[in-house]
A and B are shown apart, each in its own frame.
Chain A
Amino acid sequence: MEHFLLRVVVPLSIGSLRLDITQAVIIMWVSCMLLGLLFFLSVRQVGMIPRGVRNILEAILLFIREDIVKRNLGLEGTCYFPFVATLFLFVLISNWIGLFPHSFTATSNINVPAALAFLVFAYVQVEGIRRKGFLGYLRHYAPEGIPPALYPIMIPIEIISTLAKPFSLAVRLFANMLAGHMVILVFLGMTATGVWFLKAVPLCGAVVMAMFEIFVGLIQAYIFSMLTAIYLSEAVGAE
């Protein structure tokens, strides 16, 4: 369990507000710099024909634009593409960087997915107000085609479901990352005990789970950005 606890590297606090730089913060900086480096290397290339790492980045970004953004938000939703793509790439890199030994999965700490989900929640509400006006935004809580007698029931349900969305978004990512890495940890812990000829069995389990985690990290990044696009389309889309 101690592998998943935060270790303070540089203590830092303003009054009673603790802003310690933990190993999760450092890992997030590393993943941001890694992303920046990848994009720097690929953007520096000139010409239409991509080479090297630019192939992968172009394929990923094209997939996000066509399959996640345009499918949910339509053609005019392309202005949300940078937001969704940034979320996708950050979650993906954070998930994958935790698979390296002596590293740390930033998304397996509840604070990081909660911050990302709160960002998505706030952005969706702000965009809903900006696109539809404040009255149109409030209208969203009382759907069309429902008799006004049901409003006292429907409006609290809509408010609760709106507030539950970022919660489920955060807990899904957190639980997947924590559980997957915890299973690897449990398998590796089994190799420390037991007779020598049985140690290979949990080791194979750990290897298989690590390979599965690569897939899970990709799927979770996809789902996180997909749900962001769906929430945006609910807030922004046709009334």
Chain B
Amino acid sequence: MESVAYAWLASGLAIGMAALGAGIGMGYLVGKGLEGVSRQPEAAGSIQRLMVMGIAFVEALALYGLVIAFFLVFKT
């Protein structure tokens, strides 16, 4: 019973910390992207495309944590 509680705690911590790191990274990405667009509005298209690609990379890191969290919840 106690191990199940630890698994639930660990799953919460896994997604929370993964989202923390990914959130910081995504904030940097979007902030710098907006800075670039406001500085050079004619390059908005290519900046936006690169930014979305970078966001997908960062998001994958958070999703690793989400998958681990799901496994911890459902495997117990």
Chain A residues within CB distance 8 Å of chain B: 1, 171-172, 174-176, 178-179, 182, 216, 219-220, 222-223, 226
How many B residues touch A, CB cutoff 8 Å? 12
Residue from A174, A178, A222 in contact with B53 in the complex, judged by beta carbons closer than 8 Å: A222
Query: A226 near B53 (CB under 8 angstroms)?
Result: yes
Binds A, one of B1-9, B25-33, B35-43, B59-67: B59-67
- Judged by DSSP, the binding face of A is helix
Instruction: Compute how far the CA of A222 lies from the CA of B56 in the bound complex, rounded to whole angstroms.
Output: 10
By Cβ-Cβ distance, the 10 closest A-B pairs, closest first, are: A1-B74, A175-B63, A179-B63, A179-B66, A172-B60, A219-B56, A175-B67, A175-B64, A223-B56, A176-B63
Q: Count the A-B residue pairs with Cβ separation under 8 angstroms: how many? A: 33
Residue from B53, B60, B74 in contact with A175 in the complex, judged by beta carbons closer than 8 Å: B60
Query: A220 near B56 (CB under 8 angstroms)?
Result: yes
Instruction: Compute how far the CA of A93 lies from the CA of B49 in the bound complex, rounded to whole angstroms.
Output: 22
| CB pairs A–B below 8 angstroms (18 shown) | A171-B64, A174-B67, A175-B60, A175-B64, A175-B66, A175-B67, A176-B56, A176-B63, A178-B67, A178-B70, A179-B63, A179-B70, A182-B70, A216-B56, A219-B52, A219-B56, A220-B56, A226-B53
Residues from chain B with a CB closer than 8 A to the CB of A176 are 56, 59-60, 63
Residues from chain B with a CB closer than 8 A to the CB of A175 are 60, 63-64, 66-67
B4 to A: closest C-beta gap in Å: 15
Instruction: Compute how far the CA of A179 lies from the CA of B52 in the bound complex, rounded to whole angstroms.
Output: 19
